[in-house]
Chain A
Amino acid sequence: MSDPVPFLFTVVLLSLVANIGISLYGVFTRPSLVKKFISLTIFSDTLNSFAIAIGFRRVIGSYPSAAVLSSLPREPGELSAFASAAVDPLPQALVLTAIVIGLAVFMFLAGLIAMYYRHYGTTRMV
């Protein structure tokens, strides 16, 4: 029996790819602006998930740990042991700010859509 983990991980990644396709379809073809808005939020979440998936790694003999030291290190050796078992923290740091700023930008977009409806009396775009 070969290692099933790469297969399962590929399932996760391909599901994310499918989500990208479905949400882009929603953005392009659905007539309602609100539906385009919902699809766009799904699209941005999916792209963030890709960044997180790139930061994941595998560790021999155990499950990888989060990028957080659980106690104050007493000797330099503990630090290299931590680095050999933890996941990549850089994509997480980039996605962290992207999510919050994305929320603020989506709120701005929601305000614009509400104004559009006030002006034209509909949210249909086509």
Chain B
Amino acid sequence: MRIREVVIAVSVALVVLLLAYVIEAGGLGPIAPRELRELAASYLVNAYNPWNVTQSALSLEAVTAIVWDYRGLDTFFETSVLFASIVGVSLVFRGYRERLGIGGRGLSEIVKTSTRVLLPLILIAGVSVALHGHLTPGGGFQGGSFIAVLLVLMSIVFSLDFVVERGLTSGRLLALRSVGLIGVLATSVALLAAGLALGVEAYIFQNVAREGSELSMPQWLLDRPTGGTLIFFNMFEALAVAAGLALAFLVLSLREEEVREALGVGEWYE
């Protein structure tokens, strides 16, 4: 036992010293450099570049442009990982269903009243952050997390019964989650399908006109740029993230009675 603790302490200290040495010796590159890497400069110049449309994402925000255009395929599969872990959470508690009338009635009236004022504000902030993802800092992931916090707050302050009575059952959340994922998929192949139908060349994850393909998503909504596919991606991703995280939280906050019923008493419980 003593030797084990000494080994752990020495190895952790070694890791820390090694990392500190790497940083001090400039192993991560110069600390806070004055020059920009070439790759980053090209992303920044091309994120919104109407004079070089074939290499641009037409998004004022470079981060959203990278997430959903330049590295869109990467983000698509990361969304699939997110979906897989939500499915994993539901599988651990498989076979449950929500029951009303057990458990608490939530927090005090003062907290409930102030939360009632807060809820629409959080919802509006989340939707706004998601829909303006290509114009201001934000995007689908940020907006989705905002809206997920909304449901967490509701289930803590008003009790789980309140959430279920409003129709936000886990089945519906899973359906919303799937709608979001299908929306992301449909947006990513929309121009490819249009190209196949019109008989012209197009690419998967195509946003605006690219080399060899003139097809383009609508670039302007009234007087605002839409970033082509980016606004759709942000919208559907916000839906998927919000519903997925809310579903995972709902499943994790199931009461003892529901879980025991789902698993079958006796064999599993103690």
Contact = CB atoms under 8 A, between A and B. Distances in A.
Instruction: Indicate yes or no for A touching B, C-beta below 8 A.
Output: yes
SS class, residues of chain A in contact with chain B: helix
Nearest to A73: B48
SS class, residues of chain B in contact with chain A: helix
Contacts of B8: 25, 28-29
A57 B244 contact: no
A76 B44 CA distance: 12
A90 B44 CA distance: 10
A101 B78 contact: yes
Interface string A82-126: 111010111011001101110111011011101100110100000
Place the interface of chain B in its size category: 35 or more
B144 A20 contact: no
Contacts of A88: 36-37, 40
B222 interface: no
B246 to A, nearest CB: 11
B88 A108 contact: yes
Interface of B: 5, 8-9, 12-13, 15-16, 19-20, 23-24, 28-29, 31-37, 39-41, 43-45, 47-51, 60-63, 65-67, 71, 74-75, 78, 81-82, 85-86, 88-89, 92-93, 136-137, 139, 141-142, 144-145, 225, 241, 244-245, 248-249, 251-252, 259, 263, 268-270
In order of increasing CB-CB distance, the 10 nearest A-B pairs are A21-B16, A93-B66, A89-B62, A88-B40, A67-B62, A83-B44, A104-B85, A111-B92, A107-B248, A69-B60
